């Protein structure tokens, strides 16, 4: 197969390697502190491939975030297309599987959204997470509120906040604190938290007769 016109030389898996190296380096040091040359060197590919595949550093950052979170986005799109809520454990499993393998990513997102207001990565994350937040709000409204399962007197917005807090805290908490709680920050370790999360939601937020959250999705 001949090489595409204008395409720099490089291995067939160069794009995936660039995504992987970018995720690792950005998560460790932040967007501004990492150069495209460093990413290319870590990926062992020609630096020109970053412009070829992504248009530049910002495009690589955006694709890295989108591709890491693609399973979560797909989950919400599928739920919307079906017109019905799926069980909460399914969402938790999808989320922890997507980000548990890359625990540095949530901390990177937090740093950018907290300290990088107005920056290019900030605008990129607002775009990516804007879609996730919109779909998750609709999905959780159906799963927790419109379903009639929400316990009487519980504020729907605070119920959604509690749900998100349970999901996100283990990924943003200082490692020393997480270790004291005996939590392993990995896809497997985080998934082990799901039964506890469901129990908290079932007994704290939902009607006693609600049974949809008792499923584990296994």
Q: Which of 120, 140, 22, 6 is nearest to 80 (CA)?
A: 140
Give the residue with greater pLDDT, 162 vs 210: 162
> Given pLDDT bands bounded at 50, 70 and 90, which one contains residue 8?
low
pLDDT of residue 206: 85
Q: Give 153's contacts (C-beta < 8 A, 6+ positions apart).
A: none
Name the superfamily (CATH) of residues 14-65.
Homeodomain-like (1.10.10.60)
More confident residue, 109 or 218: 109
Where is average pLDDT lowest: 4-8, 63-67, 129-133, 211-215?
211-215
Shortest CA distance to 103 belongs to which of 19, 173, 33? 173
pTM confidence score: 0.78
Note the pLDDT of residue 209: 57
Degrees, nearest 5: CA angle 71-136-167 = 75
Give the pLDDT band (50/70/90) at residue 21: very high
* CB of 30 closer than 8 Å to CB of 22: no
The mean per-residue pLDDT over the stretch 189-216 comes to: 77
Dist. CA 144–CA 163, nearest whole Å: 10
- What mean pLDDT is reported for the chain? 84
pLDDT tens profile 182-191: 998 888 999 9
Place of tokens 């393998």: 101
Q: At what angle do helices 36-43 and 14-29 cross, to 10 degrees?
A: 120
Beta bridge mates, 150: 206
Q: Helix, strand or coil for residue 206? A: strand
Res 6: pLDDT: 52
Q: Do domains 14-65 and 69-214 have the same CATH topology?
A: no
Instruction: Look up residue 141 and give its DSSP letter.
Output: I
For the segment 83-135, what is each residue's pLDDT rounded down to a tens digit? Answer: 555 577 888 888 899 888 888 888 898 889 888 888 999 999 998 888 888 87
The whole-number pLDDT of residue 164 equals 87
Q: 74 near 86, Cβ under 8 Å? A: no
Enter the tokens of residue 127.
Answer: 């775009």
Q: Which residue has the higher pLDDT, 101 or 141?
A: 101
* CATH of 69-214 among 1.10.357.10, 1.10.3720.10, 3.40.720.10, 3.40.50.2300: 1.10.357.10
pLDDT surpasses 60 at 192 = yes
Q: Which residues pair with 206 in a beta bridge?
A: 150
Judge contact between 49 and 66, C-beta under 8 A. no
pLDDT of residue 7: 60
Give the three-class secondary structure for 182: coil
Q: How confident is the model at residue 57, as a pLDDT?
A: 96
With contact defined as beta carbons under 8 Å apart, do 110 and 172 qualify?
yes
* Each residue's pLDDT tens digit, 26-71: 999 999 999 999 999 999 999 999 999 999 999 999 999 999 989 8
Specify whether the CB–CB gap between 205 and 144 falls below 8 A. yes
For 102, the 3-state DSSP assignment is coil
| Confidence at 72, pLDDT banded by 50, 70, 90 | confident
Q: Both tokens of residue 8?
A: 């720099």
Domain boundaries, the chain: 14-65, 69-214
Which of the 8 DSSP states describes residue 33?
A: T
């Amino acid at each position: 197969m001949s090489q595409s016109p204008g395409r720099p030389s490089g291995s067939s898996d160069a794009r995936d390697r660039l995504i992987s190296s970018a995720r690792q380096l950005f998560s460790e040091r932040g967007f501004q502190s990492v150069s495209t040359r460093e990413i290319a060197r870590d990926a062992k590919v020609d630096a020109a491939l970053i412009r070829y595949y992504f248009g530049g550093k910002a495009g690589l950052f955006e694709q890295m975030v989108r591709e890491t979170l693609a399973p979560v986005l797909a989950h919400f799109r599928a739920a919307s297309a079906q017109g019905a809520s799926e069980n909460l454990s399914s969402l938790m499993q999808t989320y922890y599987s997507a980000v548990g393998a890359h625990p540095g990513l949530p901390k990177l997102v937090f740093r950018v959204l907290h300290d990088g207001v107005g920056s290019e990565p900030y605008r990129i994350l607002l775009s990516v997470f804007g879609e996730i937040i919109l779909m998750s709000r609709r999905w959780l409204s159906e799963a927790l509120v419109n379903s009639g399962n929400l316990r009487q007197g519980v504020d729907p917005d605070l119920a959604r906040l509690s749900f998100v807090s349970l999901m996100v805290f283990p990924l943003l908490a200082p490692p020393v604190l997480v270790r004291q709680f005996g939590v392993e920050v990995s896809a497997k370790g985080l998934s082990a938290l799901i039964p506890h999360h469901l129990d908290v939601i079932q007994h704290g937020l939902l009607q006693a007769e609600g049974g949809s959250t008792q499923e584990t999705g296994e």
